[in-house]
């Protein structure tokens, strides 16, 4: 994936952006929002490159070869700014420049020790934006995660948004746009990214991690609730294999022939959180499939299935033993999903176990 291209599921949103630009209707401040992991950062990185490029192509993408593009690729561009938890930095497109002095390759803020974007970095950014463009073109600042702007920083930014300098664009990025102040939100043009269509993402995942099976890709995407970059990370870190086995075992339970004790025994303290997340996602997928297949399932039963899951979380939080908690939950699910007739061997086994 080139840093200067949009992702396969972003064609439409890119066309809209490029069209708005061609019509000279770009807002000075944008609020890009959407669930974590859907590709906000890559889209905006490509957009920054396009806005700074000296000769974007017919689709509006950066050329990758002009002076401006080379500058972005090789180590920061004087007119590309980034405001993050670590302050005001230059925006670099090369991963090898991660955390070099004054510039950074823009990664999600996993490692930062700071909890909020402070006003000092914000003022430094505002000062830089008031200086004329170094290359007689656009100036762009990306602010992310925008929900971490503290109040003074947000107030300082608001003034800049309300009195923009020419050819200056601020792009705020947030997973949770609703946690920004209403005033700040109202001053930005919204650009919302949803969860992309699974079929397109599955092809993309396969191309990113060719050694992964189709089943692994689709399991990863389910666990990630459709967010491509979370799914990708799980595949790359080999976190999906246990979930494939767990989901198969849960399918058996739904058919009334699974073994809750065996499944619970296969999960330990290390994997219990991942297992419960897998159960939660599996339940949503299972209920959806019931609807698609036209199978009636009462609201009461759905509530009971969810209650078993909530109980398990609650008991684990209270330090109950993982295996006991999971056994109770899975036996509960087995009873709810496949109540076997009294005379069947399964029913006898269950009665013995529950005794
Ligand atoms: Zn270029």
For 286, the token pair is 């299972």
Ligand 1 centroid distance, CA of 206 (Å): 29
Question: Structure pTM?
Answer: 0.83
Q: Which CATH class is domain 8-192?
A: alpha beta
- Residue pLDDT, tens place only, 17-58: 999 999 999 999 999 999 999 999 999 999 999 999 999 999
213 near 221, Cβ under 8 Å? Answer: no
Interval between CA 4 and ligand 1 midpoint (Å):
9
Enter the tokens of residue 153: 């920083």
Stretch (H or E) spanning 189: strand 189-192
**Cα(145) to centroid of ligand 1, in Å?**
27
Separation of 24 CA from ligand 1 center, angstroms?
19
Between the CA of 72 and the centroid of ligand 1 the distance, in Å, is 9
Q: Which residues of the chain have pLDDT under 50?
A: 1, 344-345, 347-348, 350-351, 354-355
From the CA of 62, how far away is ligand 1's center (Å)? 5
Annotated domain spans of the chain: 8-192, 240-337
The closest alpha carbon to 228, from 243, 218, 238, belongs to: 218
**pLDDT at 53 (0 to 100):** 94
**Model pLDDT, residue 113:** 72
pLDDT at 165: 87
Q: How many Å lie between the centroid of ligand 1 and the Cα of residue 101?
A: 25
In sequence order, the 6+-apart residues with CB closer than 8 A to the CB of 187 are 29, 158, 161, 162
* Cα of 60 from ligand 1 centre, angstroms: 10
Q: How far is the CA of 156 from the centre of ligand 1 (A)?
A: 32
Task: Report CA-CA distances (Å) from 225 to 32, 205, 211, 219, 220.
Answer: 20, 14, 22, 10, 9
CA 50 – CA 19 distance, rounded (Å) = 13
225-244 burial by CB neighbour count: b if 16+ within 10 A, else e? Answer: bbbbbbbbebbeeeebeebb
């Amino acid at each position: 994936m080139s840093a200067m291209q949009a992702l396969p599921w972003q064609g439409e949103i890119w066309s809209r952006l490029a069209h708005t630009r061609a019509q000279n209707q770009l807002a000075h401040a944008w609020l890009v929002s959407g669930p974590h992991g859907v590709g906000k950062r890559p889209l905006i990185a490509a957009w920054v490159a396009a806005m700074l490029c000296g000769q974007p192509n017919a689709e509006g993408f950066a050329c990758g070869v002009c002076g401006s593009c080379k500058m972005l690729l090789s180590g920061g561009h004087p007119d590309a700014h980034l405001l993050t938890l670590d302050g005001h930095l230059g925006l670099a497109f090369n991963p090898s420049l991660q955390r070099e002095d004054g510039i950074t390759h823009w990664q999600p803020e996993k490692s930062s020790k700071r909890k909020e974007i402070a006003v000092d970095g914000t003022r430094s950014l505002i000062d830089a934006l008031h200086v004329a463009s170094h290359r007689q073109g656009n100036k762009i600042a990306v602010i992310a995660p925008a929900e971490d702007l503290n109040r003074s920083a947000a107030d300082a930014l608001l003034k800049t948004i309300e009195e923009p300098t020419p050819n200056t664009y601020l792009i705020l990025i947030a997973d949770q746009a609703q946690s920004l102040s209403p005033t700040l939100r109202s001053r930005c043009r919204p650009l919302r990214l949803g969860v992309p269509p699974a079929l397109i993402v599955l092809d993309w995942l396969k191309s990113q991690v060719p050694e992964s099976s189709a089943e692994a890709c689709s399991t990863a995407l389910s666990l990630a609730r459709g967010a491509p970059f979370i799914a990708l990370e799980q595949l790359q870190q080999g976190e999906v294999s246990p979930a494939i086995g767990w989901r198969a075992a849960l399918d058996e339970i739904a058919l009334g022939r699974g073994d809750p004790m065996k499944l619970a025994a296969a999960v330990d303290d290390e994997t219990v959180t991942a297992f419960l997340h897998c159960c939660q996602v599996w339940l949503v997928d299972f209920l959806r499939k019931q609807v698609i297949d036209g199978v009636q399932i009462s609201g009461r039963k759905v509530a009971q299935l969810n209650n078993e899951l909530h109980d398990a979380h609650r008991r684990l939080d209270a330090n109950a033993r993982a295996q006991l908690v999971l056994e109770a939950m899975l036996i509960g699910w087995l009873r709810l999903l496949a109540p076997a007739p009294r005379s069947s061997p399964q029913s006898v086994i269950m009665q013995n176990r529950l005794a």
